[in-house]
Amino acid sequence: MQNLAFQDKNSEYYTHEKAWMVPFVKEGPNVVFDLGCASGMLGSKLLAGGRAKEIFGAEIFKPAAEAAAKVYKQVHIGDIEEMQLDYAGTFDYVICGDILEHLKDPYKVLKRIHNWLKPGGSVLVCVPDVRNFRVLRDLVFRGDWEYVSSGILDGTHLRFFTRRSCQRMLQEAGFEIYHAEMIIYGPKKTLFNKATLGVFEEFLATQVFCCGRKVN
């Protein structure tokens, strides 16, 4: 589902690099599919860093997709759930950076991704952390669940995840989890997380990040 609050391809909504995901794509001539590629900033970094030789993308917002197409080999424009793509056994990596929460059936899409990957290929998934303390505070103490234009309760989010539910979704689609972490932004929250030995990391985090390897 497209976020109509952002209609400028140069908005941070479409130009955020997600640079912290780059090291999880190994160096080499990888073929990568960037699902929800926005303006292609992440793919540009992968190409420049020698971590991809070809990048394909999919993006629902046409101006952003056209920007990515200047760098990517091919960008499909539209709703990924409506596309019939024949990519069986094509990719070393499929990246789902902040896209699965926008889908009606992300479980079905992950099973398609499993088919698109080469044997031993990987999917990198980043989704909002609904267990974040602000969401829980508003729900439990204020009885409020208010959608906004961006963030965890982005009005276009159709699905919500915790670390456990994200991992379970990947496992049920045929992936073995080899890395999972909570993404925490801000020096104060990061420091507090370290001081408390990560006990509260799922409440401090904004996003869940999981890597799964195709195993069957």
In a domain, 198, yes or no: no
Q: Give residue-wise pLDDT tens across range 17-52.
A: 678 899 999 999 999 999 999 999 999 999 999 999
- Predicted confidence (pLDDT) per residue in 154-182, tens digit: 999 999 999 999 999 999 999 999 999 99
Share of the chain above pLDDT 70, in %: 92
Strands 31-35 and 54-59: parallel
What pLDDT does 152 receive? 94
pLDDT more than 90, % of the chain: 88
**If pLDDT is split at 50, 70 and 90, which confidence band does 7 have?**
low
CA distance linking residue 15 with residue 55, whole number of Å: 17
The per-residue pLDDT for 15 is 52
Backbone angles phi, psi at 207, to 5 degrees: -135, 155
At 18 the pLDDT is 79
The verdict on residue 80 lying in a domain is yes
pTM of the model: 0.90
Domain assignment present for 109? yes
- Write down the pLDDT at residue 2: 59
Average pLDDT over residues 107-113: 97
Q: Is residue 202 part of a domain?
A: no
Q: Following CA atoms 13, 27, 53, 180 in sequence, which dihedral angle do they give, to the nearest 10 degrees?
A: -40
How far the first Cα of the chain sits from its last, in Å, is: 30
Residue 1 lies in a domain: no
Residue 16 lies in a domain: yes
Domain that holds residue 179: 12-128+158-183+208-214
Indicate which CATH number applies to the domain containing 107.
3.40.50.150
Residue 107 has pLDDT above 60, yes or no: yes
pLDDT tier at 94, thresholds 50, 70, 90: very high
Average pLDDT over residues 74-94: 96
Confidence of residue 150 (pLDDT cuts 50, 70, 90): confident
pLDDT, greater one: 186 or 3: 186
Residue 69 maps to a domain: yes
Domain count, the chain: 1
Would you say residue 104 has pLDDT above 90? yes
Mean pLDDT, the chain, integer: 92
Residue 18 domain flag? yes
Query: Is pLDDT above 80 for 190?
Result: yes
- Please determine, for residue 13, whether its predicted confidence score (pLDDT) is greater than 60: no
Q: What is the DSSP string of 25-89?
A: S-SSS-EEEEET-TTSHHHHHHHHTTS-SEEEEEESSHHHHHHHTTTSSEEEES-GGG-----TT
pLDDT at residue 74 tops 60: yes
